[in-house]
Chain A
Amino acid sequence: DAGVTQSPTHLIKTRGQQVTLRCSPKSGHDTVSWYQQALGQGPQFIFQYYEEEERQRGNFPDRFSGHQFPNYSSELNVNALLLGDSALYLCASSPPGQGLAKNIQYFGAGTRLSVL
């Protein structure tokens, strides 16, 4: 049973460029959440996708956008990259169900983004 998979594992971009990160949820999961983890800090919630719609959003600018596909996989897009966007980007999936089920999140290994 494959867990949450993310690609690519590492990425180097320059300021102003755009990037797309990809995530496949754990088998049987229908909800995907994205987090940004800066060095030495805990993950920060970016947004959550369920039924192909953004359901919740954290305190991130509109440069951060996403998409969920019918097979529940998801993409995170970041436009006009800034140096401060350098971080580990984590994808987490959660099983079907309302409420508490959405809090039970399983994480992928992340994509390490470096902006030069």
Chain B
Amino acid sequence: TQLLEQSPQFLSIQEGENLTVYCNSSSVFSSLQWYRQEPGEGPVLLVTVVTGGEVKKLKRLTFQFGDARKDSSLHITAAQPGDTGLYLCAGAGVPDSWGKLQFGAGTQVVVTP
């Protein structure tokens, strides 16, 4: 059972367009991680957000943690084909779940030239 709901499940866009991926839950998380996974590979850590309302930027990627620490979003500006991959959000619950990450089912992003 996935306690983290990701939307949309699939996103196909043209190079240069913007996109947003959402990660929602009814649970509060001590932190939330975003990963990107490519076929045949393990997830690669992109960012960790900890504080409610926190915004982090990684080049063209902007990550936001909801004020109540129950949801998060990933926004990509001017997407490139290299951004193609499965984007996964993962959270650790409170109070004693450090390191026990719960993952969403992922959003498959395809960026075509």
Residue of B43, B50, B92 near A107 (CB, 8 A) is: B43
Is A56 part of the binding interface, using a Cβ–Cβ cutoff of 8 Å?
yes
Is B64 part of the binding interface, using a Cβ–Cβ cutoff of 8 Å?
no
Cβ-defined contact, A105 with B98, below 8 A: no
Cβ-defined contact, B48 with A109, below 8 A: no
A107 to B44, CA, bound (A): 7
What is the count of residue pairs linking A and B with beta-carbon distances less than 8 angstroms?
78
Q: Given A90-B42, A109-B41, answer yes or no on A42-B98 (Cβ-Cβ < 8 Å).
A: no
Can you name the residue of chain A whose Cβ is closest to the Cβ of B104?
A42
Cβ-defined contact, B42 with A45, below 8 A: no
Shortest Cβ distance from residue B21 to the other chain A in the assembled complex, whole angstroms = 13
Name the B residues within 8 Å of A56 (CB-CB): 97, 99-100
Is B79 part of the binding interface, using a Cβ–Cβ cutoff of 8 Å?
no
Is A67 part of the binding interface, using a Cβ–Cβ cutoff of 8 Å?
no
Query: How many of chain A's residues touch chain B, expressed as a range?
Result: 20 to 34
Shortest Cβ distance from residue A73 to the other chain B in the assembled complex, whole angstroms = 17
Can you name the residue of chain B whose Cβ is closest to the Cβ of A102?
B99
A50 to B31, CA, bound (A): 20
Is B33 part of the binding interface, using a Cβ–Cβ cutoff of 8 Å?
yes
Is B11 part of the binding interface, using a Cβ–Cβ cutoff of 8 Å?
no
Name the B residues within 8 Å of A100 (CB-CB): 30-31, 48, 50, 98
Shortest Cβ distance from residue A29 to the other chain B in the assembled complex, whole angstroms = 12
A99 to B98, CA, bound (A): 5
Cβ-defined contact, B33 with A104, below 8 A: yes
Can you name the residue of chain A whose Cβ is closest to the Cβ of B97?
A56
A-B contact pairs, 26 of them (CB 8 A): A4-B42, A33-B99, A33-B100, A33-B101, A40-B105, A41-B105, A41-B106, A43-B101, A44-B103, A48-B99, A50-B99, A56-B99, A90-B43, A92-B42, A98-B98, A99-B30, A99-B98, A102-B98, A103-B92, A103-B101, A104-B33, A105-B99, A105-B101, A106-B45, A107-B35, A107-B44
With A41-B105, A102-B92 given, name 16 new contacts (CB 8 A). A42-B2, A42-B90, A42-B104, A43-B43, A43-B90, A43-B101, A43-B103, A45-B100, A99-B98, A100-B31, A102-B98, A103-B33, A103-B48, A104-B48, A107-B43, A109-B40
